[in-house]
């Protein structure tokens, strides 16, 4: 009976929402989006203050945790607070404190708390790159052995994990199979949530979303958002799911609006593991707001380095619409630009992350890390400027190419246009420019890379280069491996090679190694902190 009442209520809300949506769809909506973006810009100005506040709270908790004679009950509570404080700030630290809590609970025979921490780890695992392990852990949990409170914990974390996993495989659209699992665990959580609670409406809206009842989903989630403030812990969840519903209806402006609210929530709470900023940057490309898009993209990459959720760096920063003729070609060039920027920022952020991760070690290592960090900052300033210049050159060339295409179409010179496109000369020129910049950036960040590689090879199989600043295709493959990119298909796309050629190069390189079994692991260790 109560479910039917909720359904009728949702229908009524939907009618109201549909009326309101007619206002959003017209010219009156644009100022709302602009105001949301300006509000986000202002929040980003105070971004570091939010990080400082979060770290201050963590330092206070850490001080309490180090108090002598701490009772078990107090220590386990503090460990949980540390895990939750780090959850959206630094996933490796969150994992560390959850492991401590599981060990402590086990030593004290507290199986309930140990299980709660074990279940809470599910939410963290995909961001650490443990996607398969997270799915295995979820499938292995015996729900019948859990009490109601632990069931809610399990369903909540499984729901969150599968929503995260869906985003790992596509920038906007959802992976259908994983999203179905997200919806199933959301429904399980819904069944355990009191119907008179605020959260019930959130999970009900997500239920409609999972059932592809987008109008009911938008109505219910919009109604829920109207009743809570941005400081509510569920605000980001509601805004994010509402943006998914809007995207499903093809309402890109409304998708961007609610994604902006989600990003604002992340900034206010010092969350670094989300990807709202990254997705907004892709949407702003499509609107022509290039300056703001680049700013958000850089901040997003900084967040990834802070959080340790580097798996998100491998995403394509959005998909750009494909249209007929010459415009489709132009959009493909913009995608190449975005890949170039992301690749370069990944190089820099990975170096900074590697240095920061090791700065908590002994005094000698701390000194080494600080020196490396100073060098990384100098490299970052130099190469961000270089790649922004590269992007500017790309856009100028694309604009010139577009004018040429338009001129030839107007003049009826279709054969000339076809010959120009078929030659592929434009792509070759831009690829060469990208490789030159990539080689220079990588060699400057890892100046001893070639000599370090040669130490791993047999004496008669070492690389001898005429130009120490130019990498061969084989060395570029090793460079990508050093940066943590193992996917041969992605390497092939970056290098403009066939997949079979990449496989051949990798096998050939292993055959030249002194130790074939450890060669790839040895490559990953090049340039690391001693």
Q: Is 414 exposed, middle or buried (0-12, 13-18, 19+ CB in 10 A)?
A: exposed
Q: State the pLDDT at residue 360.
A: 61
What is the pTM for the complete model shown? Answer: 0.56
**Which pLDDT value is given to residue 4?**
42
Percent of the chain with pLDDT over 90: 37
The rounded mean pLDDT for the chain is 78
pLDDT for position 18:
39
For residue 6, what pLDDT is reported?
A: 46
Q: What is the mean pLDDT of residues 516-520?
A: 86
Taking the CA of residue 317 as centre, how many other CA atoms within 13 Å lie in the half-sphere pointing to its CB? 30
Q: Which residue, 235, 241, 244, 237, is CA-closest to 172?
A: 244
Q: Which residues contact 366 (CB under 8 A, 6 or more apart)?
A: 359, 360
Pairwise pLDDT comparison (512 vs 188), residue with the higher score: 188
The pLDDT-based confidence of 338 (bands split at 50, 70, 90) is: low
Token pair recorded at residue 173: 């659209």
Compute the average pLDDT of residues 164-180. Answer: 72
Residue pair 259/244 in contact by the 8 Å Cβ criterion: no
Of 19-23, 138-142, 224-228, 453-457, the one with minimum mean pLDDT is 19-23
pLDDT for 263: 93
Triad 51, 53, 58: Cα angle to 5°: 95
Query: Which position has the token pair 């940057």?
Result: 281
Residue environment code for 330-369, b if the CB has 16+ CB neighbours within 10 A, otherwise e: bbebbbebbbbbbbbbbbbbbbbbbbbebeeeeeeeeebb
Q: How would residue 358 be classed by pLDDT, with cut points 50, 70 and 90?
A: low
Residue 81 confidence (pLDDT) above 80: yes
- Tell me how far the alpha carbon of residue 80 is from its chain's centroid: 25
Q: Which residue has the higher pLDDT, 423 or 498?
A: 498
Residue 440 reports pLDDT greater than 60: yes
% of the chain surpassing 70 pLDDT: 72
CATH number of 446-530: 1.10.10
What's the distance, Cα to Cα, between the start and end of the chain in Å?
66
At residue 106 the predicted structure's pLDDT band, cuts being 50, 70 and 90, is very high
When mean pLDDT is compared across 137-141, 175-179, 372-376, 413-417, the lowest value belongs to 372-376
Predicted confidence (pLDDT) at residue 169 exceeds the cutoff of 90: no
What is the spatial distance between Cα 443 and Cα 446, in angstroms, rounded to a whole number? 5
Whether 474 shows a pLDDT value over 80: the answer reads: yes
């Amino acid at each position: 009976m109560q479910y039917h009442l909720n359904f009728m209520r949702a229908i009524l809300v939907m009618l109201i929402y549909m009326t309101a949506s007619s206002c959003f769809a017209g010219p009156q909506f644009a100022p709302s989006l602009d105001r949301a973006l300006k509000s986000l810009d202002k929040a980003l100005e105070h971004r570091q203050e939010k990080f400082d506040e979060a770290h201050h709270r963590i330092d206070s908790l850490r001080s309490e945790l180090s108090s002598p004679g701490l009772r078990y009950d107090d220590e386990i509570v503090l460990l949980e607070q540390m895990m939750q404080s780090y959850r959206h700030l630094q996933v490796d630290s969150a994992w560390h404190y959850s492991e401590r809590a599981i060990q402590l609970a086990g030593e004290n025979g507290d199986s309930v708390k140990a299980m709660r921490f074990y279940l809470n780890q599910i939410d963290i695992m995909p961001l650490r790159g443990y996607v398969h392990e997270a799915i295995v852990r979820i499938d292995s949990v015996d729900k019948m052995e859990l009490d109601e409170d632990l069931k809610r914990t399990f369903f909540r974390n499984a729901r969150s994990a599968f929503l995260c996993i869906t985003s790992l495989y596509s920038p906007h659209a959802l992976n259908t199979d994983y999203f179905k699992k997200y919806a199933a665990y959301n429904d399980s959580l819904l069944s355990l949530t009191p119907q008179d609670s605020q959260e019930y409406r959130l999970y009900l809206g997500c239920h409609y979303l999972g059932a592809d009842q987008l109008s009911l989903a938008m109505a219910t989630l919009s109604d829920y958002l109207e009743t809570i403030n941005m400081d509510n812990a569920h605000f980001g969840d509601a805004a994010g799911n509402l943006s998914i519903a809007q995207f499903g209806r093809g309402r890109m402006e409304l998708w961007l609006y609610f994604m902006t609210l989600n990003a604002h929530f992340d900034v206010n709470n010092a969350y670094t593991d989300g990807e709202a900023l990254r997705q907004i940057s892709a949407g702003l490309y499509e609107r022509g707001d290039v300056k703001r898009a680049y700013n958000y993209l850089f901040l997003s990459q900084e967040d990834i380095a802070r959080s340790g959720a580097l798996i998100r760096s491998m995403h394509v920063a959005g998909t750009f619409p494909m249209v007929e003729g010459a415009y489709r070609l132009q959009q493909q060039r913009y995608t190449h630009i975005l890949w170039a920027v992301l690749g370069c920022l990944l190089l820099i952020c990975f170096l900074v992350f590697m240095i920061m991760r090791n700065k908590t070690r002994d005094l000698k290592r701390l000194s080494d890390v600080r020196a490396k960090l100073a060098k990384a900052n100098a490299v970052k300033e130099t190469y961000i400027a270089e790649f922004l210049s590269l992007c500017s050159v790309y856009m100028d060339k694309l604009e010139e190419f577009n004018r040429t295409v338009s001129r030839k179409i107007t003049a009826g010179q279709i054969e000339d246009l076809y010959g120009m496109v078929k030659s592929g000369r434009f792509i070759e020129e831009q690829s060469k420019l990208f490789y030159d910049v990539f080689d220079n950036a990588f060699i400057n960040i890892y100046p001893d890379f070639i000599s370090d590689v040669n130490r791993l090879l047999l004496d008669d199989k070492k690389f001898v280069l005429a130009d120490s600043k130019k990498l061969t295709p084989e060395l570029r493959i090793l460079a990508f491996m050093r940066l943590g990119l193992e996917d041969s298909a992605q390497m092939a796309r970056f290098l403009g090679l066939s997949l079979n050629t990449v496989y051949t190069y990798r096998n050939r390189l292993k055959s030249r190694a002194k130790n074939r079994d450890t060669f790839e692991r040895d490559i990953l260790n090049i340039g690391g902190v001693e």
